[in-house]
Structure 1
Amino acid sequence: MKKLLAVLLTLTMVAGAAVGCGSKSEEPAKSEPAQNEDASAQAPADADTSAPAADGEEPYIAMIALGFSHQFWQAVKSGADQAAADLGVKITFEGPEQETMVDKQVDMLKTALGNNPSAVCMAAIDNEAVAGILQEAKGKGIKVVGFDAGVGEAESEAKCSTDSLAAGALAAEHAAELLGGKGKIGIVGHSQTVVDAVERVVGFKDKIAADYPDIEIVDEQYGEGDHLKSAEVAKSMMQANPDIQLIYTSNEGACVGAYNGLKEANKLKDVKLVGFDSSAAMKEAIKSGEIAGAITQDPVGMGYKTIETAVKLMNGESVESFIDTGCYWYDASNMDDPKIAPLLYD
C-alpha cells in the first residue's frame, strides 16, 4: 500500500509540473523595443526593409545631413525628432563636422544602410558620390527622401526643401529695393557643387537679369561657407571693384565672413549686405542695421516634413515629388514678428 501511494504521489507531482510549464508557454512574450544595432545584427544584408515592422517594433529611418553642429541642422533635427515621436518611428540624425567632407558623409551613409533602415533621408554634399549607393538601396526596397540640398532626382522619391530658386529670387527683390533699382552687386557664394547652394545664386542672378536692367552683377566668388575665407573673398572683391554697392551671400558662413571682411575694410557704411540663413551674429548685425536683411528657411518644418514624407512612402502612400518647406525675408523691422522669430536660430 505504501508503495502504491508513493507511485500515485509521484505521478501527481509530474502532472502538476507539466501543467505549470504549459501555462508559462501560453503567456504572451514581452519584448523590449528593438534597438537599431540589434535589428541590423538579426536582419540579412539584402533584407527587403520596405516590409512592415514586426509587432512592437518601430520602423527605423536614417537621416544624414550636410553637417551636424550648426544650429540650422540642430533645428532640422528637432523637427525630425518631433515627427518621429508623433508618427511612431525611430530615427538617427547625423552629419559630418564640415559641409565639405564628402568621404565622411559617404561612410555615414554606408554605416546607416548596414543597420537596415526602412527609409533614408539625405542632404548630399556630392550627389555623384552617393548616387550608386542610394540606387542600390532603392533596389532593396528602402525609401529615399532628399531634404535641404537633397540627392539626385533618380535616387530619391521625394524632396523636402526650401525652393532655393525662389529664395534666391526673393533675396534679389529685396536687394533691388535696397538699391533703388540700380547699382552694382557682388556675390559671395558658399558652394558650386551643392544643389541648393547653386540654386540660391542662380535664382538671385536670374531675377536681377529678368527684372532689373539697371543693376549689374560685377563679381561672383566662393568661400566654402567658411568665415575666414569668405572675409578674404569680400575684401578682395572690394579691392577689385570698389564701386560695388551691395553684396549678396548664400549662407550663414558666407554672410558672417563677408560682414567681417567689410568691417575690416571699413566698408560697412558703404556696402549693403544681404544674407541667407541666420545666427546670433547675423541677428545682432541685422538689428543694428549693419546687415540689411536676410532670407531664412524653416528648418524645424523641414525636419518634420522630411520624416512625415518618409513615413507616407513606407506606408505605400503617394507624395509630391517636391515639398516646399518655405522661406521668408527678415530684417530689423520684422525679425521679432511671431511668424518670423521662431525661424531664426542661433
Structure 2
Amino acid sequence: MSLLAHRSGRAAALLAAALLASGCAKAEPTAATPGSSGSQARQQVATPSGPAGAGCTIQRYGTAAFDLKTAVVGFSQSEKEANPFRIAETQSIKDEAARLGIANLKTTNAQSQFSKQISDVQQLIAQGAQLLVIAPLNSDGWEPVLQQAAARKVPIITIDRKINARHCSDYLTFIGSDFVEQGRRAADQMIKALGGRGKVAILLGAPGNNVTTERTQGFKEQIAAKAPDIEITFEQTGEFAREKGQQVTEQLIQSNPDIDGIYAENDEMALGAVTALKGAGKKPGDVKIVSIDGTRGAVQGIVDGWLYAVVESNPRFGALAFETAQKFLDGEAVPEKVVIADREYDAANAADSLGQAY
C-alpha cells in the first residue's frame, strides 16, 4: 500500500469514528485486505458508552501527554502462547509497535497464572511504563494494579477481556469483540445445523471472566428465543484448553451418547472434542460442532467435515489499540468500549478462507 493510500484510509477511518461519536453516522465494518494485521484491526465499530462527548479524555484521566514513539509501553499477555489466538494477538501488538516506530515496547507473559500477571504488570509500572495494554486472564482481582497505575496516571487499555473496574478512572477503554453477539451467532449456526431440534452440550470457557459468561448468555438466549426444541443437556468447563476439551467430551460421550451438537466456546476445546469423537468411533458430521475463535486448525476442521461452523474472535488488536491510544493523547474522547469486527466461517467459505484464519 502506498503512503498516500494509507493516510487516506486512516483519515477516512478517523472521520467515520468522529461522525459516529457525534451521532451523524452509523459505523459499519469496513472491507480489509486478508492477511494484514492493520487492515484487519481497522474492521471496527466504535461504540460510545453514553451520550456524545461522554468518552474519556486525557484531561479527565489526568495523564500528561507523551510521544508514543519514545514512551515506555507495556504489554501483558495472559496465557501461554500455545494457543493460536494468543500468538496472533501478541504478534499483532509487536508488529504495530514496530510499524509505528515505538522503540521501547516491553512484553510479559503470565503463562496462565493470574498472580504472575499481577506481578508482571506491577513490574512494568515500576519500569516506568507510560501506557499499559493488558490482555487480562481474569476480570476481577486487579485492584493492586489499578491503584498503582492510578497513582502514576498510567492509562490502561484492556483487550479481548474486560476488567471489572471504572471507566476513565481505573482504565481508559476495553477493545474487544461483542461476546454476547458471538454466542448468538454460534446459536444461529447450531440451529441451522440441527434443523432447530436436538440435544446440545456446551463446553464452557474458563470461569471468572466475561468472555465465558457472555458467550454462554448469547447462545442460551438465542436458542431459547429461536429454537425451543433444542435442549441443552450438558454443560462443563473445558477451560479454553484443547486437552481439557477432549477430556470433557470423553465424559460427555459416556453420559450423553445421543448428543446431537456441541457448542465449544473456543476452537481449542472444539479441536479437543474432535479428538474425543474420533476416539469414540464417530464420523465427521455425526455430532455438529460450532465454535468461536477462527483459528486455522478449526477452519480446516470445517473443510474436513468435523466442525460445522466457526465464529471468529478477531485477535488482531495492535493497530486499533495504538490508534486508540494516539487519539486519547491527541485530546480526543475515547469510548468505554471499542468493538472489533468478527467474520464467520462455514462450509461455503472455509476452503477459500484458510489463508485469512490465524
Same fold (TM over 0.5): yes
Q: Offset of 1:295 from its aligned partner?
A: 1.3
User: Judging changes above 3 Å, is the alpha-carbon distance between structure 1 residues 315 and 61 closer, same or farther for their aligned structure 2 residues?
Assistant: farther
2:88 equivalent to 1:72: no
2:163 equivalent to 1:145: no
2:237 equivalent to 1:222: yes
- Give 1:51's match in structure 2, choosing from 52, 64, 67: 64
Task: Give the aligned residue type for 2:143.
Answer: A
Aligned residue number for residue 115 of structure 1: 127
2:137 equivalent to 1:125: yes
Q: Distance in 2 between matches of 1:174 and 1:231?
A: 22
2:287 equivalent to 1:271: yes
Q: Distance in 1 between matches of 2:94 and 2:209?
A: 25
**Percent sequence identity over aligned pairs:** 27
Runs of at least 4 residues off by over 3 Å: 85-90, 278-281, 340-343
User: Judging changes above 3 Å, is the alpha-carbon distance between structure 1 residues 314 and 61 closer, same or farther for their aligned structure 2 residues?
Assistant: farther
Contact 1:181/1:215 (<8 A) preserved = yes
User: Judging changes above 3 Å, is the alpha-carbon distance between structure 1 residues 342 and 60 closer, same or farther for their aligned structure 2 residues?
Assistant: farther
Aligned residue number for residue 249 of structure 2: 234
Q: Offset of 1:164 from its aligned partner?
A: 0.7
Q: Rg bigger for which structure?
A: 1
Q: Distance in 2 between matches of 1:245 and 1:256?
A: 17
Task: Give the aligned residue type for 1:92.
Answer: K
Aligned residue number for residue 198 of structure 2: 183
* Higher RCO, 1 vs 2 (CA within 8 Å, ≥6 residues apart): 2
Secondary structure (helix, strand or coil) at the match of 1:330 reads strand
Contact 1:226/1:254 (<8 A) preserved = yes
Q: Offset of 1:138 from its aligned partner?
A: 2.3
Contact 2:97/2:318 (<8 A) preserved = no
Secondary structure (helix, strand or coil) at the match of 1:327 reads coil
Contact 1:191/1:198 (<8 A) preserved = no
Contact 1:228/1:257 (<8 A) preserved = yes
Q: Distance in 1 between matches of 2:356 and 2:225?
A: 30
Gaps of 5+ in 1: 1-47
The farther-off stretch of 240-249 and 86-95 is 86-95
The farther-off stretch of 179-188 and 145-154 is 145-154
Q: Offset of 1:280 from its aligned partner?
A: 4.4
Q: Offset of 1:82 from its aligned partner?
A: 3.9
Contact 2:79/2:137 (<8 A) preserved = no
User: Judging changes above 3 Å, is the alpha-carbon distance between structure 1 residues 57 and 284 closer, same or farther for their aligned structure 2 residues?
Assistant: closer
RMSD, aligned α-carbons: 2.3
Task: Give the aligned residue type for 2:298.
Answer: M
User: Judging changes above 3 Å, is the alpha-carbon distance between structure 1 residues 177 and 341 closer, same or farther for their aligned structure 2 residues?
Assistant: same
User: Judging changes above 3 Å, is the alpha-carbon distance between structure 1 residues 335 and 291 closer, same or farther for their aligned structure 2 residues?
Assistant: same
User: Judging changes above 3 Å, is the alpha-carbon distance between structure 1 residues 238 and 110 closer, same or farther for their aligned structure 2 residues?
Assistant: same
TM-score by length of 1: 0.77
Contact 2:299/2:345 (<8 A) preserved = no
Contact 1:191/1:197 (<8 A) preserved = yes
Aligned residue number for residue 344 of structure 1: 357
Aligned residue number for residue 222 of structure 2: 207
Q: Distance in 2 between matches of 1:343 and 1:50?
A: 38
Q: Offset of 1:94 from its aligned partner?
A: 2.9
Aligned residue number for residue 91 of structure 1: 105
Gaps of 5+ in 2: 1-60
